[in-house]
Chain A
Amino acid sequence: MAEERRQKQCSVVLPTESMKAMAESVGVGQLQEDSCVALSEEVSYRIKEIAQDALKFMHHGKRRKLTTSDIDNALKLKNVEPLYGFQSQEFIPFRFASGGGRELHFYEEKEVDLSDIINTPLPRVPLDVSLKASKEQQKTESTEPLKVVKPGQEEKGTIQGKGQSTTTPDGKGKEKGLIRLKPRSTHELSVEQQLYYKEITEACVGSCEAKRAEALQSIATDPGLYQMLPRFSTFISEGVRVNVVQNNLALLIYLMRMVKALMDNPTLYLEKYLHELIPAVVTCIVSKQLCLRPDVDNHWALRDFAARLMAQSCKTFSTTTNNIQSRVTKTLTKSLFDDKTQWTTRYGCIAGLAELGADVIKTLILPRLTVEGARIKAVMEGPVVSNIDKIGAEHVQTLLLKHCASVIAKIRPQPDNVEQYRAEYGYLGPMLCSHVVKARTQATLQAQQVNRTTLTITQPRPTLSVSQSGLTGSGGPRTPSIIKVPSSLTLMSPRPGTPSQPSPPATKYIVMGTSAGAASTQQVITLSSSQSASPVTSTVPSATSTLQPLVKLESGGTPGLTASRPLQKYIVVSLPSSASSSLEPKSSVLPTSISSASLDGGIKLERSESPGVSTQSPH
């Protein structure tokens, strides 16, 4: 084949007709055939020569395309006046025409009306050359340990994992194929940061509760902590490792509160550190022993708290690529299904699973009720048991009742028959039955109170929240915004995601158990850094009973919210990040400020990604 091509190369010459055509164009009428042949050979040779030289310019111009300027430069090399007027980056400006037995390529020159040119507005100036991804990269190089290249960056940097290929929940590896993890390097903090870090960590694990509260508040709200994030996460994971061994319950609780505070900080994105945090949290959920005297100390509360943290991080960070939730679920179920598992661990497993939501309870815990019931019965009614086991069984029982009752209340039809329950759930059946009944009555009670509650909440000015979300841009902040139309409750939020900039987090979480049982742990955690933006606070501290109706509302009572909402556990009055999916369609209600902001972002995006739009040079 190469041979064929070469033969062609050897023989390619311009046709003599071209010579004639060209001669005519310069006014030579009768050109003899011989002259044409001689000319065409000569011209072909010269053209090839020039093309050779033009190739050089192309190579040095670091291009793959030969351009007209290359030809010009090659002509200049030969001391020939370049052909002016053929500058074109994109295409060869020749048109093809045939007719009269002749085929011609010609250069189309339109007649242009000068006034048209003068009167048309000037085209936009093309964008100037810019250098991309320099400083950011350097910043990441010096601060974030596990940093590759930002997703938008086209060149992937290399991360190289050396011995620390832990559960880095980083989905990029799968998408891009060849990616290496970078060795962990230490990044130095400024003196002030070091000081701050020292103070904070000391306060967090120290004895003074006031200081601790202050420190946690700082962690949860300070915007500039990302540089210290790796250190905090290491601190926590190390701390848990050490204190679990030493059964130091208090410290474990403090550390978990730190995790909670870190999660609450809207300027931090923990995804890159979950490989350290999740093991620590899970440890606090399922560890066999968390305190020195398991019979006395209330390590159950720690397990509950950690389980809630777990659930929260699953909801926030679980994606299809890192599968946090399913991995956690698998781990917990495995030890739950193990007969030899101790009561403490069992409790943790159930708590961890239960916090993940009604669906998980339904599919994983309800089928186990009979087995667990039998196990509890063996302990409670059996002969020789240690006190510890007994306490453990009691707690498991309470836990199961608490979580299962509300779920069963929803899935089972109304008449609650004790015998039926016993048949279905074994030992726990009767107790469940009473709990379910209680749950049902409470639910109805709450439903009545809902309207009153919502009415009080409608106070926030819609305009304020809109402008807030407009400010935060298209990055999808977690910043809350509440718009409530009195008749139908509407939660507004821009897309969830990481906050793009530190904004005053006027976040209010109302976290509470779904169970109707009075004994269940109900917590109201209210975070608010800026009092001005929190007119809602006044309604929150109201008695726990007022909170119950909200649960009802959340789980499907309101027509505005679909029943399949994943979020059942929390009522996040201000803004649940996951709530947005069902709410988004409603954003059309919003004034234009939001949409214009997002539109603006879109334009920017387009500019940077497809610069071709503005290539047209103003000829």
Chain B
Amino acid sequence: MNFKKAGLDSCPLTLGSTDQSEGSILRSRWFPFFNFAHAQFIFKMAAVQGGMVDAKDELDIKSEPPSDGFGNSNANDGRLLSSSPGAGTGGTATGNNKPAPGPPEEQQTLLAVLQFLKKSKLAESAEILRREAGLPEDALDPKGTDASGSGPGLAAGSGQVDGVDASSLLSRVTVSSSAAAQAPKKDSSLAACFYSLSASPAAAGEDQPDVSVVLSAYSQQGDPSLYDAYYSGLKRFIESVLDCHRAELSQLFYPLFVHMYLELVYNNNESVAKAFFEKFSGDQECYYEQDLRILSSLTKKEHMKGNETLLDFRTSKFVLRISRDSYQLLKRHLQERQNNQIWNIIQEHLYIDIFDGMPRSKSQIDAMSGSLAGEARREANKAKVFYGLLKEPEIELPLDDEDEEAENEEGKPKKKKPKKDSMGSKSKKQDPNAPLQTRIPLPELKDSDKLDKIMYMKESTKRIRLGSDNLPSICFYTFLNAYQGLTAVDVTDDSSLIAGGFADSTVRVWSVTPKKLRKVKSAADLNLIDKESDDVLERIMDEKTASELKILYGHSGPVYGISFSPDRNYLLSSSEDGTIRLWSLQTFTCLVGYKGHNYPVWDTQFSPYGYYFVSGGHDRVARLWATDHYQPLRIFAGHLADITCTRFHPNSNYVATGSSDRTIRLWDVLNGNCVRIFTGHKGPIHALAFSPNGKFLASGATDGRVLLWDIGHGLMVGELKGHTDTIYSLRFSRDGEILASGSMDNTVRLWDAMKAFDDLETDDFTAATGHIHLQDNSQELLLGTYMTKSTPVLHLHFTRRNLLLAAGAYNP
């Protein structure tokens, strides 16, 4: 494969996390030991925030105007609240703003820390810390021997870091005495806890933290019987506020509900938890039903370990977007009521993205919510995305006469003109939104690619202009007798081949043109061929093997994703067995098995320029591969649940992934960063499609809705309602005028994409705030609905002349 030796493969592998880096982790880990007071502060803050404070929070705090009496989601507020009398916590909270630690409790904590350091052979740090704290040199030893007494207590205490204060920790030493016998385990849990304190600012979306650490945040906080009262109190409050605020504050219900429930479960209050769930689960928005079902099955502390959904909820802060006014209102209320239980949850587990301006309406909120971890943070969608298309290489059109025969006499001049124009305009000015041609190295064009490009241009001159009054014809390829379970379909760009992936692990390739599929001759036979002859390419094919169908055997599980290479020489298939296989369509054999995903790989797709491909699966990461590397070049991590579909941007610089966590992320292939997070779907996303101009993205999910996104602005720009079941395929027509969607409900629907994107008003305000007003104009945009008898539509494809091909297996 011709490939410029530069770029990607030599780049260091980057983990695709947006806001952390390895450096910050290290720094924060060592930071406390240099300045004790500061360490104390951070320690506390971390404790209050459940080990989830990151640098951004601090920024937020600073950006807060000083006139704001309460500040933002700041540690100070937490302190104020928790120190207020009558609060439900075990309550003798020490004010953290006191510079000196409270004598006995703080000392205990310190001692525990020192002990840990000593154990970890970090004598120097321990010494520094000791001196900072002004503890006697020998303070450690007696305590050390006393480990059976205070050690466990500390361990238990620090295991429950957000228990706010050490005194309450100590008070529970006796309670947890049963745990005292297991001293070594304590140490490890202490260590874990310590690690979580220091590392957690960076831990959020990245590596999977230890489950016990994550869960420890749910330690006992207050009287379980009061949870009910807290929640209903807040509910009453929110229901009584002004309408404009109610919708915004209602967003709080779901995350609060989940966290309170989990706290109850974690603290073994099973019956209370059940009662709590039964009482309030009905209030939640219907689109959370799926998650609630999972939650409902979770009734024991033991269940929480290893439950992925739960882990997702804990490791990622639920993001809410609330206007400043509404936020103030909420804060005032909680302060008046001394409702620090809820306040703690808000502080620890939620990320409240505050904006200035009008509160959003219910419909605006509903449009954006639904994802597993709330809405996307505003900053997440601020990065610049080069969504423009790459310049097409200039190819001299050979003035061959052979295509003349099919043309009428006047066909020729007509044909040449527009081609010249389009070529000229493209090559002259570079799209300002397009990435540099060399931003990522792309394979060089081979002669055969150029030939194909020429074919493409010839075909595209015969393309039918589609529009609302000129709909495409649809040809449906039905897979009959597919009892093996058709799971994936792909069609080559020139519509000459169709491949199907089946649940019986086979991949089948059909030729749908009269040209049959032939294998290359065996090596021995190839030797006999005259290599100088003109038709050598024809001679290498083995005529005896010609058939319409070839079956590729190799996978050991259902094939869920399938993709042709643009040059039609290769085929990729991804399977339940965790591998991605590259097949040659010359020899019809498997060339490579890419192993990396350990779990089912749900989807894979070739880059529009070939060479690269992307895959995503149950392990929640998407990987970028190059065909000649057996290891991935990039790992895109950040999704909170399975990656269900992957798509390359037309310029090959970006990759979009849709996930079961109901978000869509756009990743930069160059540096592995996540540059867009789109929320708004209410179910796992199963279909993605980029518009041909690269500006827009369409996504379809199990909820039967198609959402349209403006990539440049990072905004939702449309919602197409109509399907009644999962949408499995989306495709824009070649010129982007029509969007076709195919669904499990046995229909193909055509939408007026031109109109959907034309009506857009993307003024600066909308772009800045991300508040969208979606008109409910699905009915106007729907151009046609076409039923099949009983065939779910699994794949759609526009031929180069804009004939729509659809495919699916007849389902008797």
- Which A residues lie at the B interface, using CB under 8 A? 2-3, 6-7, 9-11, 41-42, 44-45, 48-49, 52, 56-57, 59-64, 69, 73, 77, 89, 126-135, 137-138, 141, 149, 153-160, 162, 178, 180, 182-183, 185, 188, 191, 608, 610-612, 615, 617
Residue B297, interface by CB 8 Å: yes
A615 → B minimal CB distance (Å): 6
Are B300 and A154 interface neighbours, CB within 8 A? no
The contact sample of 12 A-B pairs, CB cut-off 8 A, is A45-B297, A59-B644, A59-B686, A62-B487, A130-B479, A138-B475, A149-B475, A153-B476, A154-B790, A155-B806, A611-B810, A615-B483
A346 → B minimal CB distance (Å): 44
A409 → B minimal CB distance (Å): 55
On chain A, the residues within 8 Å of B502 by CB distance are: 129
Residue of B407, B474, B512 near A158 (CB, 8 A) is B474
**Which residue on chain B has the smallest CB distance to residue A69?**
B503
Q: In the bound complex, what is the Cα–Cα distance between A159 and B475 (angstroms)?
A: 12
Contact (A162, B469) CB under 8 Å given A41-B299, A69-B503: yes
Residue of B296, B479, B642, B728 near A131 (CB, 8 A) is B479
Residue of A77, A180, A615 near B600 (CB, 8 A) is A77
A169 → B minimal CB distance (Å): 21
**Contact flags B461-477 to A (C-beta < 8 A → 1, else 0):** 00010000111111111
**Which residue on chain A has the smallest CB distance to residue B792?**
A62
Are A155 and B791 interface neighbours, CB within 8 A? yes
Are A157 and B473 interface neighbours, CB within 8 A? yes
**Which residue on chain B has the smallest CB distance to residue A177?**
B787
B277 → A minimal CB distance (Å): 6
Contact (A73, B303) CB under 8 Å given A49-B297, A62-B487, A180-B784: no
Q: In the bound complex, what is the Cα–Cα distance between A169 and B432 (angstroms)?
A: 54
On chain B, the residues within 8 Å of A45 by CB distance are: 297-300, 303
On chain B, the residues within 8 Å of A7 by CB distance are: 278, 281
Q: In the bound complex, what is the Cα–Cα distance between A130 and B486 (angstroms)?
A: 11
A241 → B minimal CB distance (Å): 24
Considering only residues 271-326 of chain B, those with a C-beta below 8 Å from chain A are 274, 277-278, 281-282, 286, 289, 292-294, 296-300, 302-303, 307
B601 → A minimal CB distance (Å): 10
**Which residue on chain A has the smallest CB distance to residue B478?**
A132
Most B CB contacts (10 A, CB to CB) among A7, A149, A182, A608 go to: A7
Residue B456, interface by CB 8 Å: no
Contact (A49, B307) CB under 8 Å given A62-B487, A154-B789: yes
Most B CB contacts (10 A, CB to CB) among A44, A138, A185 go to: A138
Are B480 and A611 interface neighbours, CB within 8 A? yes
Q: In the bound complex, what is the Cα–Cα distance between A59 and B481 (angstroms)?
A: 20
B724 → A minimal CB distance (Å): 12
Are A3 and B726 interface neighbours, CB within 8 A? no
Q: In the bound complex, what is the Cα–Cα distance between A141 and B570 (angstroms)?
A: 29
- Which B residues lie at the A interface, using CB under 8 A? 274, 277-278, 281-282, 286, 289, 292-294, 296-300, 302-303, 307, 405-408, 464, 469-487, 498, 500, 502-503, 508, 510, 512-514, 549, 557-558, 560, 576, 599-600, 602, 618, 642, 644, 660, 684, 686, 702, 726, 728, 744, 748, 784-792, 794, 803, 806, 809-810, 812
On chain A, the residues within 8 Å of B644 by CB distance are: 59-60
Contact (A60, B812) CB under 8 Å given A9-B293, A135-B514: no
A274 → B minimal CB distance (Å): 23
Are A178 and B282 interface neighbours, CB within 8 A? no
On chain B, the residues within 8 Å of A617 by CB distance are: 483
A486 → B minimal CB distance (Å): 50
Q: In the bound complex, what is the Cα–Cα distance between A612 and B483 (angstroms)?
A: 10
On chain B, the residues within 8 Å of A69 by CB distance are: 503, 558
Contact (A612, B812) CB under 8 Å given A62-B744, A131-B479, A155-B786: yes
**Which residue on chain B has the smallest CB distance to residue A182?**
B473
Q: In the bound complex, what is the Cα–Cα distance between A128 and B482 (angstroms)?
A: 7
Q: In the bound complex, what is the Cα–Cα distance between A159 and B558 (angstroms)?
A: 37
On chain B, the residues within 8 Å of A188 by CB distance are: 406-408
Residue of B274, B300, B500 near A11 (CB, 8 A) is B274
Are A158 and B786 interface neighbours, CB within 8 A? yes
Are A608 and B278 interface neighbours, CB within 8 A? no
Are B487 and A61 interface neighbours, CB within 8 A? yes
On chain A, the residues within 8 Å of B812 by CB distance are: 610-612
A164 → B minimal CB distance (Å): 13
B755 → A minimal CB distance (Å): 18
17 more A-B residue pairs beyond the given contacts A62-B744, A129-B481, A188-B406, with a C-beta to C-beta distance below 8 A: A6-B293, A6-B296, A42-B302, A45-B298, A57-B558, A60-B600, A73-B558, A131-B478, A132-B477, A135-B513, A137-B475, A154-B476, A154-B478, A155-B791, A157-B473, A180-B784, A185-B464
The 10 closest A-B pairs by CB, nearest first: A155-B476, A3-B282, A154-B789, A48-B297, A10-B296, A127-B481, A132-B478, A134-B512, A137-B475, A9-B296
Contact (A73, B600) CB under 8 Å given A62-B728, A131-B477, A131-B479: yes
Q: In the bound complex, what is the Cα–Cα distance between A615 and B811 (angstroms)?
A: 12
Contact (A178, B785) CB under 8 Å given A49-B297, A64-B744, A188-B408: yes
Are B297 and A134 interface neighbours, CB within 8 A? no
Contact (A157, B474) CB under 8 Å given A10-B277, A59-B702: yes
Are A141 and B477 interface neighbours, CB within 8 A? no
Residue of B282, B478, B480 near A2 (CB, 8 A) is B282
Q: In the bound complex, what is the Cα–Cα distance between A617 and B481 (angstroms)?
A: 12
Q: In the bound complex, what is the Cα–Cα distance between A61 and B512 (angstroms)?
A: 24
Are A129 and B475 interface neighbours, CB within 8 A? no
Are A178 and B512 interface neighbours, CB within 8 A? no
Are A133 and B282 interface neighbours, CB within 8 A? no
Are A73 and B557 interface neighbours, CB within 8 A? yes
Q: In the bound complex, what is the Cα–Cα distance between A615 and B660 (angstroms)?
A: 34
Q: In the bound complex, what is the Cα–Cα distance between A81 and B407 (angstroms)?
A: 63
On chain A, the residues within 8 Å of B786 by CB distance are: 155-156, 158, 178
Contact (A154, B726) CB under 8 Å given A52-B294, A131-B478, A135-B514: no
On chain A, the residues within 8 Å of B479 by CB distance are: 129-132
On chain B, the residues within 8 Å of A130 by CB distance are: 479-481
Are B278 and A10 interface neighbours, CB within 8 A? yes
A610 → B minimal CB distance (Å): 7
Q: In the bound complex, what is the Cα–Cα distance between A159 and B470 (angstroms)?
A: 10
Q: In the bound complex, what is the Cα–Cα distance between A77 and B686 (angstroms)?
A: 20
Q: In the bound complex, what is the Cα–Cα distance between A3 and B644 (angstroms)?
A: 30
**Which residue on chain B has the smallest CB distance to residue A3?**
B282
Q: In the bound complex, what is the Cα–Cα distance between A160 and B467 (angstroms)?
A: 12
Are A129 and B307 interface neighbours, CB within 8 A? no
Are A3 and B660 interface neighbours, CB within 8 A? no
On chain A, the residues within 8 Å of B508 by CB distance are: 129
Are A162 and B307 interface neighbours, CB within 8 A? no
Most B CB contacts (10 A, CB to CB) among A9, A64, A160 go to: A9
**Which residue on chain A has the smallest CB distance to residue B560?**
A60
B185 → A minimal CB distance (Å): 23
Residue of A2, A56, A610 near B660 (CB, 8 A) is A56
Are A131 and B481 interface neighbours, CB within 8 A? no
A281 → B minimal CB distance (Å): 30
B643 → A minimal CB distance (Å): 11
